[in-house]
């Protein structure tokens, strides 16, 4: 098991005080890798809380540049970053908040060419992609590699969250056999 540094013990002291959590649970977090796809409003917020909780490694995946109309919901971004790849700003912000977390930033979307490598690099995948093309690719790879997946989405005033455990629960296509037309 990975040991905690004195700085980490101080940083996570309050959550380690929670009943049924403690130092052993914190060490499990530190030894875990989470893949977060769609690092925008939802994925960025989730990555923020994973980083401050002390996850060991985050793999952030999001292609595209930050737009001004993203700024009302993307907590890891700053106005001076508009026009630049958002995933690198997310990485920079998270490291400034918690330098003890390893963060890999992938300036790309989930594709058939990269999904297997991404999933095999993680203990769990958090899907916050903005479209079902990426979501379906990630779900299929998670099933293929038996990687648990947390599926989260927001569109307009709708939201949903579920956990997909390969070969134990239904998959994304079971939940959405007909894909919603989210813009």
pLDDT confidence of 178, banded at 50, 70, 90? Answer: confident
Is 170 part of a structural domain of the chain? yes
Is 81 part of a structural domain of the chain? yes
Task: Look up the domain containing 96 and give its range.
Answer: 32-175
Is 14 part of a structural domain of the chain? no
DSSP of 49-107: HHHHHT-SEEEEE--SB--GGGTTT-TT--GGGTTSBHHHHHHHHHHHH-TTSEEEEE-
pLDDT tens for 63-90 read 999 999 999 999 999 999 999 999 999 9
Q: pTM, whole model, 2 decimals?
A: 0.94
Domain harbouring 86, CATH code: 3.40.50.720
Is 22 part of a structural domain of the chain? no
Lookup: tokens for 45: 């917020």
Contacts of 17 (CB under 8 A, 6+ apart): none
Is 110 part of a structural domain of the chain? yes
Is 159 part of a structural domain of the chain? yes
CA distance 165 to 172: 11
The tally of domains found in the chain comes to 1
Is 4 part of a structural domain of the chain? no
Q: Provide the 10 A C-beta neighbour count for residue 100.
A: 16
pLDDT confidence of 20, banded at 50, 70, 90? Answer: very high
């Amino acid at each position: 098991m990975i040991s905690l540094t004195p700085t980490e013990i101080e940083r996570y002291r309050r959550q380690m005080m929670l009943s049924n959590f403690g130092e052993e649970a914190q060490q499990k977090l530190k030894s875990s890798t989470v893949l977060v796809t769609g690092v925008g409003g939802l994925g960025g917020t989730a990555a923020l809380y994973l980083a401050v909780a002390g996850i060991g490694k985050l793999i952030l995946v999001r292609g595209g540049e930050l737009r001004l109309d993203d700024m009302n919901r993307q907590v890891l971004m700053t106005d001076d970053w508009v026009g630049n790849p958002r995933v690198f700003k997310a990485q920079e912000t998270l490291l400034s908040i918690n330098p003890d977390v390893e963060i890999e930033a992938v300036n790309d979307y989930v594709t058939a060419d990269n999904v297997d490598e991404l999933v095999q690099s993680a203990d769990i995948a958090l899907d916050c992609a903005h479209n079902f093309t990426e979501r379906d690719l990630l779900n299929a790879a998670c099933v293929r590699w038996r990687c648990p997946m947390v599926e989260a989405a927001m569109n307009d005033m709708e939201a949903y969250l579920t956990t997909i455990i390969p070969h134990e629960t239904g998959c994304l296509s079971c939940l959405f056999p007909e894909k919603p037309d989210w813009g």
